[in-house]
Amino acid sequence: MSSPIDQIRRYHTELTTIRQDIHANPELGLEEHRTADLVARKLEEWGIEVHRGVGGTGVVGVLRSGNGEATIGLRADMDALPIVEANDIPYRSRNQGMMHACGHDGHTTMLLGAARYLAETRAFNGTVNFIFQPGEEGVGGALAMLQDDLFARFPCNAVYGMHNRPGMPVGKYGISPGTAMAGGGFFDITITGKGAHGARPEESIDPVLVACHIGTALQSIVSRNVSPREVAVMSVTRVLSGDAYNVIPQTASMGGTVRTMKRETMALVEEGMRRIANGVASGFGATAEVDFRLIFAPLVNHEREFHAIADAAADLVGDANVNRAQAPAQASEDFAFMLEKVPGAYINLGNGDSASVHNHHYNFNDEAIPFGSALYARLVERQLPRGTE
């Protein structure tokens, strides 16, 4: 079986143009109207059945070949981040305050490249669902597609995703067995005290003081409530209160994120946070309200699908270029919610020597496009082989 990398490289220039166009026109989560339209038009151009508006701005392309009943889902994310781009490049973001700082422009393009290749070659027997997901960056895009009956409307025996990895050479892949990425939660704590003049603190119940004590006490959850055998991170990332130097405010708010490798650990941290916030606030005569939201489930690779995509990668570049024991990441990914519904796996591919993701100097490496597109294509050819009609 010849490598799809060479065939995909024939239209690498066109794919690069698509990627840079998406980069220049970033859209935030659940607002990817232009990107979704571009994706849909390209799929239609290549003769692929297109379904728009899945989960809001999501797009699903359906490609059938032969009479096989097996179905594979391939997923890419489309949204950008609210970051001001610092790159001096011809295709720099034209939308102020938005940029593709995580490579979703590249992920979308790689899946489009796989769609074009598979539509041209049809060297598989079954159905491929190309899932272009909106709103991955903490705004619930995966859940929106699932709530729109994604897998009832487009059944999948397995579903696969991919993410670029800065610092990993182009042409190499890495994947973690089992739990590969942390679940993520966001929290906000609102503290209500009693405002007063800054010169008369005895008349106040100072919410800033309460917030400081809560912030310190929250650090005990991981160190004293979570087993050392488990992984948990709790970070207070914002504290807001007051408008003047000489006024003790009435309220204060604080927020942050929690990352764990198990849903049970996330629940334990939430329980401890509510107990501490309410207890500390009560001790000062104040009140505290906790809003705790699970944004990402832990991402767990299923064993069969882990081997399927890792073996497909090795088929392309050799086993020495596939790290099958990559360390789990504390970052999160809402593709995890899809993996809770359908077996699947999530792999990284090298982005070369680039800035890290979520950085204003980040840029997806266009040289990685053929390696991502080809991996999806080879995976389909291996999992839905011709000759089984």
**pLDDT tens-digit map of 86-107:** 999 999 999 999 999 999 999 9
Gap between the Cα atoms of 208 and 380, Å rounded: 56
Gap between the Cα atoms of 353 and 362, Å rounded: 10
Q: Which of 157, 162, 159 is nearest to 173 (CA)?
A: 162
305 CB-side CA count, 13 A? 23
**Residue 365 shares a structural domain with residue 229:** no
Q: 């993701």: which residue's tokens?
A: 357
pLDDT at 251 over 80: yes
Q: What is the CATH number of the domain that holds 96?
A: 3.40.630.10
pLDDT at 170 over 80: yes
296, 311, 333 - which closes a domain: 296
Identify the pLDDT of residue 343: 98
**Residue 202 shares a structural domain with residue 284:** yes
**Residue 317 shares a structural domain with residue 265:** no
Q: Are 375 and 162 in contact (CB under 8 A)?
A: yes
Gap between the Cα atoms of 299 and 375, Å rounded: 20
pLDDT mean across residues, the chain:
97
330-363 pLDDT, tens digit each:
999 999 999 999 999 999 999 999 999 999 999 9
Give the confidence band of 388 by pLDDT, cuts at 50, 70, 90: confident
Q: Which of 144, 194, 118 is nearest to 376 (CA)?
A: 118
**Residue 25 shares a structural domain with residue 147:** yes
Gap between the Cα atoms of 94 and 90, Å rounded: 10
Q: Which helix (H) or strand (E) holds 337?
A: helix 335-339
Give the confidence band of 1 by pLDDT, cuts at 50, 70, 90: low
Work out the average pLDDT over 199-225. Answer: 98
Identify the pLDDT of residue 271: 98
Gap between the Cα atoms of 345 and 372, Å rounded: 14
**Residue 90 shares a structural domain with residue 211:** no
Work out the average pLDDT over 197-220. Answer: 98
Gap between the Cα atoms of 86 and 99, Å rounded: 9
**Residue 174 shares a structural domain with residue 190:** no
**Residue 27 shares a structural domain with residue 151:** yes
Q: Is residue 388 in some structural domain?
A: no
**Residue 15 shares a structural domain with residue 124:** yes
Q: Are 213 and 282 in contact (CB under 8 A)?
A: no
**Residue 122 shares a structural domain with residue 233:** no
Q: Is residue 389 in some structural domain?
A: no
Q: What is the CATH number of the domain that holds 271?
A: 3.30.70.360
Identify the pLDDT of residue 2: 79
55-86 pLDDT, tens digit each:
999 999 999 999 999 999 999 999 999 999 99
Identify the bridge partners of residue 253 per DSSP, sorted by sequence position: 190, 240
**Residue 210 shares a structural domain with residue 81:** no
Work out the average pLDDT over 265-286. Answer: 98
**Residue 333 shares a structural domain with residue 214:** no
264, 296, 328 - which closes a domain: 296
Identify the pLDDT of residue 318: 98
281-300 pLDDT, tens digit each:
999 999 999 999 999 999 99
How many separate domains does the chain show? 2
**Residue 272 shares a structural domain with residue 336:** no
**How are beta strands 49-54 and 71-77 bridged, if at all?**
unpaired
Gap between the Cα atoms of 122 and 102, Å rounded: 31
Q: Is residue 239 in some structural domain?
A: yes
Identify the pLDDT of residue 341: 98
Domain that holds residue 209: 183-296
Give the confidence band of 147 by pLDDT, cuts at 50, 70, 90: very high
265, 296, 327 - which closes a domain: 296
